[in-house]
Amino acid sequence: MTVENSGNNHNGKFRSWLSGLLLDWDRTQMLICFFLVVLLAIAPFFISSTYYLGIIILATIYAFIGISWNIVAGFTGQLLIAHIIFLAVGAYTTIVLFNNFMISPWVGILIGGVIAALCGAIVAFITLRYGLKVDYFALFTIALMVALRTLFLKWDYVGGAVGMWFRLTNPSFDKMIFENKAPYLYIAIGLVVIGLIIQYRIYRSKMGKYFLAIREDDDAASALGVNTSQYKMIAVVIGAAMAGIGGGFYVMYVTFIEPPQVFNLGLNVEIVMAGPIIGGLGSLAGPVVGALLNKPFAEIMRGALTEGRSGSSLIVYGSFLILTIMFMPRGVTGVLHTIYRKIISQYQRKAQGDS
Amino acid sequence: MALLEVNRISKRFGGLVAVNDLNLKLDKGNILGLIGPNGAGKTTAFNMISGFYKPDEGEVLFDGQRINGLRPDQICRLGIARTFQVVKPFPQLSVRDNVMVGAYNRTNKRSEARQKALEIIEFLGMQDLSETTAGSLSVAYRKRLEVAKALATNPKIILLDEAMAGLRPTETDEMIELVRQVSKQGIALLLVEHVMRVIMSLAEQIVVIHHGEKIAEGEPKQIVRDKAVIDAYLGEVEIDVKG
């Protein structure tokens, strides 16, 4: 060992850097995500089918939305079920600004994020003011979604029941309209990378510890000096802002929005909840790992089981989710963590044996 | 001026008077014991001092500043930490992360919070458990973790709510020693305790409450001889022991 290290200093440095990385589960999870992101980035070079590329793009967007929900539901444990509200707000903002005011989606998406964040602040304020926790909080968000669906159905300015189409023009970077699918994928990957960095920075900071403490026991947290209301609100605002941005990009990609589509618990399960739950709610890699399994699985089932028995794919999909929750309550990342711990403890035992 | 002054606080739940007209005084670095039979209002008094309940009447002064009406986290930031009778660990977090939550009360830096947490974990003799998740600790260690978290907030006063209940005699002895060590650091302690041995060996002053009212106050030696206390509280214990 020592001969090797002194013989090749660079190698030794690299090894200690790598072991520092791999001995830390948080960083190992980031490494897994980084690996998956690279796979996504090279996908267009190997997949020419626009259908499959489309699934990959949606899965990537879902990963970003999943991260936004993970910060609220996974970290602070707030049951923000109808998180899709914020996605819808961001999406509507982006499309209205583009169609009616000719504001570039690059800007519109950010404005959508800000407005979604404001909505998040309002939701958090009301629920905290009236002490709605856990199941009541969940019910409040669902009720709000239903109310907003009705409101948007009657609101002609945003298309009412007819919905809104993007006013498509010639492909141009300014308008975020591209001829082929690859640029959409790279924008989505960019969002996921930013999302992962934000999530990691939060997780490792004071704020992240406070979020987790609130999830675990909010009375105990407040006895240790945590302003639980303030931190719950911060989490909802961050999650809502990210979901709004994700929603803005989502609508740019699918080019159409209508109230029954976005104010919809079914889509909410698929786009917001399934990824983090399959991947491991509250973990760092969960939303990305989960989304990349969830969306392709749903699509494959849809393709395989549509003929003659439409809807039967949803039964399979639902059963898949239930089985995941029953047998992997901590998701795929939870299983990976167990394996990881076994490997690490063996490695450490071996290292002790060597010395 | 006392560090903590509780002036004539009362709390009612519907028709039930949980605490009535209670006065307490705790000086810097002292240990005050609060005892009384089950349901006497000890935990209610605790909850009023730590901000979990608002008193219906009266006031709580810390360092001369009125603190009743403040939230628990504000009171903690001022320098009063508490433990819970029914322990409240953060079960899925490691022992170190549990204590770090407390340590972040005085710093925003991860490295500082970590350092402080590790020091406290070592002080409590739990260094081998620092990576263990709190949910898998034994009862004795969970009780210790409560003290560790409170200590990490860097308080001037710690309110210990039955920190020894449910412990075996040897564990209780270790805990008594620990509390002494904490007291030696200059931290004032308010103990709610059922185990008389603990109170008698630790407290410098004792307040006895019964049905929410103070019935006696004094040094441990005086308290054990007090007629009212024996009737209300110590008497019961004796009957329990015989039966």
pLDDT in tens, A344-355: 888 888 877 766
- What percentage of chain A exceeds 90 in pLDDT? 72
**Chain A contact for B154 (CB, 8 A cutoff):** no
- The residues that bridge with B33 in the sheet, in sequence order, are B191, B206
Q: Are A148 and A142 in contact (CB under 8 A)?
A: no
Residues of chain B neighbouring A226 (CB-CB closer than 8 A): 73, 101
Q: Which of A26, A219, A224 to mutate to test the interface with B (most CBs of B within 10 A)?
A: A224
pLDDT digits (tens, 9 = 90+) for A88-117: 999 999 999 999 999 999 999 999 999 999
Whether the per-residue pLDDT at A3 is higher than 60: the answer is no
Q: Is residue A9 in some structural domain?
A: no
Token pair recorded at residue A149: 């669906």
Q: Which of B36-40, B70-74, B224-228 has the highest mean pLDDT?
A: B70-74
Whether the per-residue pLDDT at A252 is higher than 90: the answer is yes
Query: Nearest to residue A33, comparing CAs of A299, A290, A342?
Result: A290
Task: Give pLDDT, residue A251.
Answer: 95
Radius of gyration of chain B (CA): 18
Structural domain including A184 reads 26-354
What band does B39 get if pLDDT is binned at 50, 70 and 90?
confident
Closest-CA residue of chain A to B134? A216
Q: Is residue A17 in some structural domain?
A: no
Residue with tokens 């159409």: A256
**Chain B contact for A354 (CB, 8 A cutoff):** no
Task: Give pLDDT, residue A9.
Answer: 67
DSSP secondary structure of chain B: --SEEEEEEEEEETTEEEEEEEEEEE-TT-EEEEE-STTSSHHHHHHHHTTSS--SEEEEEETTEE-TTS-HHHHHHHTEEE--SS----TTSBHHHHHHHHHTTS-S-HHHHHHHHHHHHHHTT-GGGTTSBGGGS-HHHHHHHHHHHHHHT--SEEEEESTTTT--HHHHHHHHHHHHHHHHTT-EEEEE-S-HHHHHHH-SEEEEEETTEEEEEE-HHHHHH-HHHIIIIIHHHHHHHH-
**Inter-chain CB proximity A225 and B93 less than 8 Å:** no
Residues of chain B neighbouring A216 (CB-CB closer than 8 A): 89-93
From the options 3.40.30.10, 1.10.150.310, 3.40.50.300, 3.40.50.12140, give the CATH code of B4-242: 3.40.50.300
Lowest-pLDDT choice from A84-88, A307-311, B48-52: A307-311
Task: Give pLDDT, residue A12.
Answer: 79
Please give the average per-residue pLDDT across A30-36, as a whole number: 95
Q: Is residue A8 in some structural domain?
A: no
pLDDT digits (tens, 9 = 90+) for B2-19: 899 999 999 999 888 999
Closest-CA residue of chain A to B111? A205
What length does chain B have?
243
- Residues B81-112 as b or e (16 or more Cβ within 10 Å = b): bbbbbebbbbeebbbbbbbbbbbbbbbeebee
The CA angle B3-B8-B12, to the nearest 5 degrees, is 125
**Inter-chain CB proximity B81 and A227 less than 8 Å:** no
Distance CA A211, CA A232 (A): 7
**Chain B contact for A209 (CB, 8 A cutoff):** yes
ipTM: 0.91
> In Å, how far are A53, A271, A292, B18 from A49, measured between CA atoms?
6, 23, 18, 72
Q: What is the pTM of this model?
A: 0.92
CB atoms within 10 A of CB A110: 17
**Inter-chain CB proximity B149 and A213 less than 8 Å:** no
Whether the per-residue pLDDT at B148 is higher than 60: the answer is yes
Whether the per-residue pLDDT at A8 is higher than 70: the answer is no
Q: Are A285 and A33 in contact (CB under 8 A)?
A: yes
Q: What is the mean pLDDT of chain A?
A: 91
Whether the per-residue pLDDT at A5 is higher than 80: the answer is no
Whether the per-residue pLDDT at B173 is higher than 70: the answer is yes
Nearest to B101 among A204, A210, A219 (CB): A210
Task: Give pLDDT, residue A45.
Answer: 93
**Chain A contact for B195 (CB, 8 A cutoff):** no
Residue A315 belongs to domain with CATH number: 1.10.3470
What band does B239 get if pLDDT is binned at 50, 70 and 90?
very low
Q: At what angle do helices A286-305 and A312-327 cross, to 10 degrees?
A: 150
pLDDT top residue among A265 and A14 = A265
A57 CB-near residues (< 8 Å, 6+ apart)? A181, A184, A185, A188, A253
Q: Is residue A180 in some structural domain?
A: yes
**Chain B contact for A223 (CB, 8 A cutoff):** yes
Query: Nearest to residue A205, comparing CAs of B234, B112, B58?
Result: B112
Whether the per-residue pLDDT at B241 is higher than 50: the answer is no
What band does A2 get if pLDDT is binned at 50, 70 and 90?
very low
Nearest CA-CA distance, residue A196 and chain B, Å = 19
Token pair recorded at residue B107: 């710093």
Distance CA A14, CA B116 (A): 30
Whether the per-residue pLDDT at B236 is higher than 60: the answer is no
pLDDT digits (tens, 9 = 90+) for B183-211: 999 999 999 987 788 888 899 999 999 88
Please give the average per-residue pLDDT across A330-352, as a whole number: 89
CB atoms within 10 A of CB B69: 12
Query: Nearest to residue A123, comparing CAs of A85, A150, A73?
Result: A85
Whether the per-residue pLDDT at B134 is higher than 90: the answer is yes
Q: In what order do the strands lie in the sheet with B4-13?
A: B16-26, B4-13, B57-62, B65-66
Token pair recorded at residue A129: 């003011």
- What percentage of chain A exceeds 70 in pLDDT? 95
Query: Nearest to residue B193, comparing CAs of B184, B185, B202?
Result: B202
How many domains are there within chain A? 1
**Inter-chain CB proximity A225 and B89 less than 8 Å:** no
- What percentage of chain B exceeds 90 in pLDDT? 71
Domain positions in chain B are 4-242
pLDDT top residue among A142 and A14 = A142
Nearest to B101 among A204, A221, A227 (CB): A221
Whether the per-residue pLDDT at A63 is higher than 50: the answer is yes
Task: Give pLDDT, residue B243.
Answer: 31
Please give the average per-residue pLDDT across A171-188, as a whole number: 89
